Amino acid sequence: MPIDMELEAVLRPEQLPMAPYPPKVITLANGRRMVVRQAKREDVPAILHSVRPCLSIERDYYDIVSARLYGELLAWYRYRVKSEFCLLGQVDGYLVGIVNSRMVDEKVGMSYHTLAIDRGLRIGSHLFAAKMEHHIEYLGQEEVLIVAESPIGFRRWMIEYPLEKTNIPHELGGGDSYRLTRQIYYAAKPRLVVGDRPVPPDLLAEAEAEIKFADDDTIRERISGLKGR
């Protein structure tokens, strides 16, 4: 569609400079290797193919998480959100998990969502930890504001780290934010932040060449046993 770039300059929010996330590889519990890398804006249409089947899954609030993630990624693709980034988890090129977040300013991050498409391997936990790694270690931020939309998310983030409760509202609404500080991150890092760098060139090349995605039934089966429904 034609774009009026003069008007676009008014509509597009400021983008803060962001250091890139260096890719890493994590060996999962089943022995498979997951490449964790930063998505590019042009990757968004392919990513959304894997998010769509989750929109109708009620289990563990996948419907609301995936709906909000879909909108956030589309906003990034259309230049309607400030300083967002997205990390992907890929196994043999197939997309198995997604996390996204943004910078509020140089010191504060705003965590958005974590979506594991293949469950039972702590993919969501590994990718959430990678997202926090990016905020604290590579973007140099002081804190990240976080909320959970499901009980499993609350257990994985608020209790497992553990995070600090605040009375600060979060952009996603719901309850007030919990906070990951640099001190909390570095105390939790030995337990929760894993992975090796550099990624073997063949693995990285495979992940970057194409974002593969399973068919809709397979995605539903992996999440909640809903194949064929």
- Residue-wise pLDDT for 189-212, tens only, equals 999 999 999 999 999 999 999 999
Considering only CA atoms, which of 162, 101, 170, 166 is closest in space to residue 136? 101
The answer to the question of residue 97 being in a domain is: yes
The answer to the question of residue 185 being in a domain is: yes
The answer to the question of residue 90 being in a domain is: yes
The answer to the question of residue 229 being in a domain is: no
Q: Is the pLDDT of residue 226 over 60?
A: no
Considering only CA atoms, which of 105, 102, 171, 190 is closest in space to residue 142? 105
Burial class (CB in 10 A: 0-12, 13-18, 19+), 208: middle
Q: What is the pLDDT of residue 217?
A: 83
Q: Which residue did the predictor score with more confidence, 118 or 170?
A: 170
The answer to the question of residue 38 being in a domain is: yes
Number of domains observed in the structure of the chain: 1
Q: Which residue did the predictor score with more confidence, 228 or 35?
A: 35
Q: The CATH number of the domain where 57 resides is what? A: 3.40.630.30
**Domain residue limits at 51:** 5-13+21-224
Q: What is the pLDDT of residue 224?
A: 62
The answer to the question of residue 98 being in a domain is: yes
State pTM to two decimals.
0.94
- Residue-wise pLDDT for 74-129, tens only, equals 999 999 999 999 999 999 999 999 999 999 999 999 999 999 998 889 999 999 99
